[in-house]
A and B are shown apart, each in its own frame.
Chain A
């Protein structure tokens, strides 16, 4: 079974061994952590600016009848 022939414990890219660190004043941070933090920031910015699919789709304003349940499609309305 292929699962038993997994790559050696170090993985394809070996992250063991001496760590690399960024020093700036009182701050000392591992490059690995810098990458994680940068990924978070980049992902956040991309999430804000990337266009969301379907935004060009025409949205039909729903006039929800007073006695309908919230967020439910009114009876008989097309999906």
Chain B
């Protein structure tokens, strides 16, 4: 029965301490080689790593290109380009950090995305379609279509593009060549011109290396534009689905092929599969799940201070297995 007392400075040697598990161990010890143990662990891990690497290698699915997309799924390409002009794609109406408006997510009263603001401005129609076409050389039809587009009002542009998008939806296979007659303005020529540019490989370079007010675009490591454009497509989505990488396939945990992925993301993935995150909370699912995971991470961090949680290891005595040698040698004792 040790008296509970303030531990005075330098009182390490005092037998009075508030926490009996604190302080240096003064009971039985045994010899031990710390450095040898570390070297052994390093050797074992290195050998195991080398064996796994030699046995299984690592995946490397080639990146897809806008050129590949245009060649493999031209109808999808034209439909997506039309959507960019109509302002109906995900990128066009994303909201912060790319555009104004949209439907930015929130956690209750916390409008974090909105407060951060539009710091990576993207104008879908201009950046993905009009800009690349303007910067490159084309036949007269495309040049004229660009002039028509530039000279039209915003409402007129939207009307043309929306009408063409609807018509593509009704055409067999979404084939632009089979679209019915209608007032689409310069949109068919523009999207057709973009398809040609993409098929020849010119669009990949244009989207990555487009000059900005700050830079000529020669050196560039920012893939925001090509990936946003690709993300609007059905093409990227289709390939990802085949590899079981969609969110509703627990894709966040998966790797391509049969490689192990990120098993540690199991709980983060889980919330995306269940209500209310799949139902009433779906519009804010990303923000809410992030908030929830932050709270759970905080709980894990603060386990030592949470009554009930911190006593689980005492109440479910797995520790008796861990320390059975010591208890056998020195008596089990009455303490739990």
Q: Which residues of A contact B (CB under 8 A)?
A: 6-7, 9-13, 15-21, 26-33, 35-37, 48-49, 52, 54-55, 57, 59-62, 64, 66-67, 70-71, 73, 79
Contact = CB atoms under 8 A, between A and B. Distances in A.
B259 A70 contact: no
B96 to A, nearest CB: 32
B25 to A, nearest CB: 7
B26 interface: yes
B59 A26 contact: no
A70 B253 contact: no
Interface stretch (B2-10, B98-106, B242-250, B297-305): B242-250
B321 A49 contact: yes
18 contacts: A11-B54, A12-B55, A12-B56, A19-B244, A21-B249, A27-B250, A28-B244, A33-B253, A33-B260, A36-B260, A48-B321, A49-B321, A52-B325, A61-B27, A70-B26, A71-B29, A73-B29, A79-B31
B13 interface: yes
Contacts of A57: 30
A62 B290 CA distance: 51
Interface string B41-56: 0000000000001111
B87 to A, nearest CB: 35
Interface string B1-41: 00000000000010000000001111111110000000000
B258 interface: yes
Interface of B: 13, 23-31, 53-60, 243-244, 249-250, 253-261, 263, 266, 273-274, 318, 321-322, 325, 328-330
Contact of A29 (B26, B250, B257, B318): B250
B55 A13 contact: yes
A21 B243 CA distance: 11
B28 A15 contact: no
Contacts of B59: 15-16
A28 B256 contact: no
A12 B260 CA distance: 16
A28 B325 CA distance: 41
Contacts of A79: 31
Contact of A30 (B31, B55, B60, B253): B253
B322 A48 contact: yes
B55 A16 contact: no
Contact of B28 (A19, A28, A59, A67): A59
A64 B55 contact: no
A70 B22 CA distance: 12
Given A19-B244, A66-B13, A37 B273 contact: no
Contacts of B274: 26
Contacts of B273: 26-27
Given A48-B318, A70-B24, A30 B260 contact: yes
B254 A19 contact: yes
Given A9-B60, A10-B57, A54 B258 contact: no
Nearest to A15: B258
B258 A61 contact: no
Enumerate the 6 nearest inter-chain pairs by beta-carbon distance, A residue then B residue, closest first: A70-B24, A11-B57, A55-B325, A32-B260, A15-B258, A16-B257
A32 B60 contact: no
A49 B328 CA distance: 15
A27 B13 CA distance: 55
Contacts of B58: 11
Contacts of B55: 11-13
